[in-house]
Amino acid sequence: MVQHIESVAQWVQQFADILQPERIQWVDGSAEEWETLTQQLVDDGTFIRLNPEKRPNSFLARTDPTDVARVEDRTFICSAREEDAGPTNNWREPGKMREELIEVFRGAMRGRTLYVIPFSMGPIGGDISQVGIQLTDSPYVVVSMHLMTRVDNDRVAEQIANGAEWVPAVHSVGYPLIDENGDARPDVPWPSNPTKYIVQFPETREIWSYGSGYGGNALLGKKCYALRIASAMGHDQGWLAEHMLLIRATSPAGRSYHITAAFPSACGKTNFAMMRPTLPGWKVETLGDDIVWMRPKADGRLYAINPENGFFGVAPGTGVTTNPNAIEALSENVIFTNVALTDDGDVWWEGLTPEVPEHLIDWRGRDWTPSSETPAAHPNSRFTVRADQAPSIAPDWDEPAGVPVDAVLFGGRRRTNTPLVVEARSWRDGVYIGATMASEQTAAAEGTVGQLRRDPFAMLPFCGYNMADYWGHWLEIGETLGEGAPHIFGVNWFRRAADGSFLWPGFGDNSRVIDWISKRLENEVTGESSLLGILPKHEEFELEGTEVSDEDWQALFALDPEAWLHETDDVERYFKIFGSRVPQPLRARLEELQAALEAEANR
C-alpha cells in the first residue's frame, strides 16, 4: 500500500505536522469507502440525497455563494524565473510563496481528517499515464476524486515502487474546527475561506491549494495537475497536455477518425464529445470531454488518452435536446453541485427540459418560481459522473496505449469573422489558428460575460509555463511528427446573422463538419482556397436535412478583409505582450496574413 512507501510516508508526515489534523485516513477508492463518505456528507448537511427512485445513489451539494468558480486571480505559477511563467500567468518567487503557504496551511486541518488520495491520471500503468497523491480535508473532494480519477491505493503504490514520478498535491478548505487556542467552532455545510491560493510549482511538480472546496480548485487532478503541471512536464519530456475533448467518428463506410478539439469552457465541448450525429450513417463515440494527453510514438503518429475517469460538466445548457447522451449518463451515481432541487427530490437547471417547473429550491436553498429574477441553477453549476456511464462512451476509451489522432480542431464562441470551418494549409498555420483563438467570455471563469478575450488553445488559464514557449513546443512537436502530424482545422458553431440568430444549427449537425473534415483527410474533396486556409465548397458539404439557406451558407464563410485586418492588428498587439519569445514562424504567418488582407482590401 502507498502508506508503506517511505517517500510518501515522509511527505504525508511532513504535511501532517504543518496541518495538524485530528486523524489521517488513507483512501482506497473502494465502493464501501464511497458509501461511508457520502452518508457522512449527508449527515453533515453538505449533501442532499436525491430521490432514489428518480436518481439512484446521487447527491446535491450547494457551495458557499463566494466559492462557485475558478479563481484565476489567485492562481499562481511559481517557476524559478518569472519569464518562464510568462505574462499570462500570475507569478510569485517560489521560495517566498512556499514560506507564505506554510504559514497559511499551519493548523488548517485542526479538528478535521486528513485524507490521503493515491490516484492515477489515465489508465494505471499506461505509457502516457501519470500518478499523484493528494492530501485534503474535504470528503466532498474524496468522493469527487473517486469519480474523476483512478483512485487505487495498491496499484498506484505499485507504480511508485517501480519508479514512477508522482506529483504531490495538498489541499485544504482553510476552515479548521479548532483554533490555535484550542477552542472549538461548529462546522458548516460548505467550509471554505475568503483567502484563496491555487499554486503550481512546475519545476518540482507540486500543487498547493487553499481556501476553496469547488471543482478544479480542489480536485487537484483536474486543471492543476492534468493541465498546468502536465503541460510543463510535456514541455520537458516531449509530449502535450491539452484542454481538449477526444472522439472517434466513424463514417458510413466504416472508416474511423480520432479527433481532438480545443474549445474554451462552456463553449460546447461536452455536447460535441457526446454528439448524436444527424447526418445518416455517422457514429460518434466519446473518448474524453475536457482534457487530452498526447505523445508522439515510434510509428510517427500522435497518440492520445483521456487522463480523466469522469466528466465534470457545466449543467446549464445540457439538456434532453442538446445532449441526450449526457442526460442518460446522469441517471445514477452523480454528484450535482449548485443546481436546483425539484419538489419530488430530483434536480433541474436551465436548459435541462423545455418545460420549466412551477416551483423549485434554487442553488442557494431558496424558493424559486419562473417569475423569480435569478436563475434556479448557478450558471456554472456542475455534474460529476464516471465517464463509463455515458451511452456514447467508446468501448476502448480507457485503452492504455491511446488512439492515433487524425485531426485537431480549434474553436471559440465568435459572432463574426471566424468561419464555420477552415483547414490550415500547414502545421505552422494550424498552430497560428490555435495561438490566436478568441472567445466570448462565459460563466465558467471570472470576468465579464460576453467580452471577447484571446484564449490560445483554450489554455489561457491552464498553461503551466510561458504561453509563447508553449506555442514553440507545439511547433517542435509538428517537426517531430512530420508527415504523420494530424491535420488542423478552425471551427466556429456560434456565428450569427444580422438579426442575432445563429447561422448554424450546431449540436448533432456538427457531424456535417466532421463529414467534410473526413473527406479532406481522405483527399476526396479539394475545398476552396482562401486567405485564412481551405474552406469547403458548397457542393462538397452535406446540408440536406438542415434549414441552412444559400444566404446563411455565404454568411457562415463571409470574409471581410477590413474586419480581418482589425483582427490581425489585435493579434499583433497580443503577440507584443510576449516580446521576443513569440516563435518566428508565427510572426511570419501574421505578416503573410496582414499583407494578403491589405492587398485584398485595396483591390
Rg (CA), the chain: 24
pLDDT > 90? residue 268: no
Q: What is the DSSP string of 196-251?
A: -EEEEETTTTEEEEES--SHHHH-TIIIIIIIIIHHHHHHHHT-EEES-EEEEEE-
The cell numbers describing 295, all together, are 505523445
Q: What is the mean pLDDT of residues 345-350?
A: 98
Please compute the mean of the pLDDT values over residues 218-246 and round it to a whole number: 98
Residue-wise pLDDT for 48-96, tens only, equals 999 999 999 999 999 999 999 989 999 999 999 999 999 999 999 999 9
- The predicted pLDDT at position 214 comes to 96
Q: Write the single-letter amino acid at 169.
A: A
Handedness of CA 319, 280, 492, 434 (dihedral sign): positive
Does the domain at residues 242-310+396-559 carry the CATH identifier 3.90.228.20? yes
CATH 3.90.228.20 domain locations along the chain: 242-310+396-559
Query: Which residues of the chain form CATH 3.40.449.10?
Result: 2-46+71-238
Catalytic residues: 267
Q: What is the pLDDT of residues 527-570, one digit of tens each?
A: 999 999 999 999 999 999 999 999 999 999 999 999 999 999 99
Tell me: pLDDT of 445 over 70.
no
Quick one: DSSP state of residue 502? B
pTM over cut 0.85: yes
Confidence of residue 601 (pLDDT cuts 50, 70, 90): confident
Q: pLDDT exceeding 90 applies to what percent of the chain?
A: 93
Which is the CATH superfamily of the domain at 2-46+71-238?
Phosphoenolpyruvate Carboxykinase, domain 1 (3.40.449.10)
User: CATH 2.170.8.10 in the chain, residues?
Assistant: 311-388
pLDDT digits over 401-412, tens only?
A: 999 999 999 999
Gap between the terminal Cα atoms of the chain: 72
- Dist CA 473 CA 231 (whole Å): 10
Query: What gap in Å lies between CA 276 and CA 320, rounded to an integer?
Result: 12
Contact 287, 322 (CB under 8 A): no
CATH fold group of domain 311-388: Phosphoenolpyruvate Carboxykinase; domain 2 (2.170.8)
Whether pLDDT at 36 is above 60 = yes
